[in-house]
Amino acid sequence: MSKAEMYYEFLEQEGYVPQYDGDGDIIFKKEGLTYIAFASEDDAEFFRLALPSFWSIKSEEEIVRVLAAAAAVNAEVKVVKVFPVGEWVWAAVELLIDPPESFAAVFPRAMRLLRLGAERFVDTMRETAR
């Protein structure tokens, strides 16, 4: 079974409605937010779960605040990476898991940490806008 199939099957069993994207990764929603489980078939142990495009970068001036807020979250929240992608901010959890099937054991915590990282980023951005 491929990692994409494994992720898809797991998400279905957990009550999500997963879909494959054009790259073969798995997209699913929770509480109105869209997440991506990257299959990364060429790296069996690599697990990457992302919350894409959760914050829009509205100006060149804002990028300085975005980078500072992302750095603060990256230093504070375990395993979460917050980073700009074009005009958007993404958050991701990246882990090495062996065997790859063990991702299911850490999935709930990865989701909580991913959401926490995004929330901390948004809070920081709102606080520094004042």
Q: What is the pLDDT of residues 54-90, one digit of tens each?
A: 999 999 889 999 999 999 999 999 999 999 999 999 9
pLDDT surpasses 90 at 130: no
Burial 70-91 (b: 16+ CB within 10 A, else e): beebbeebebbbbeeeeeebbb
Q: Of all helices (H) and strands (E), which one includes residue 115?
A: helix 103-128
pLDDT surpasses 80 at 39: yes
Average pLDDT, the chain: 96
Name the phi and psi angles at 49, rounded to 5.
-120, 130
Q: How confident is the model at residue 122 (pLDDT cuts 50, 70, 90)?
A: very high
pTM for the whole structure: 0.94
pLDDT surpasses 90 at 45: yes
Burial 50-61 (b: 16+ CB within 10 A, else e): bbeebbebeeee
What is the number of helices (H) and of strands (E) in the chain?
3, 6
Q: Mean per-residue pLDDT for 21-48?
A: 96
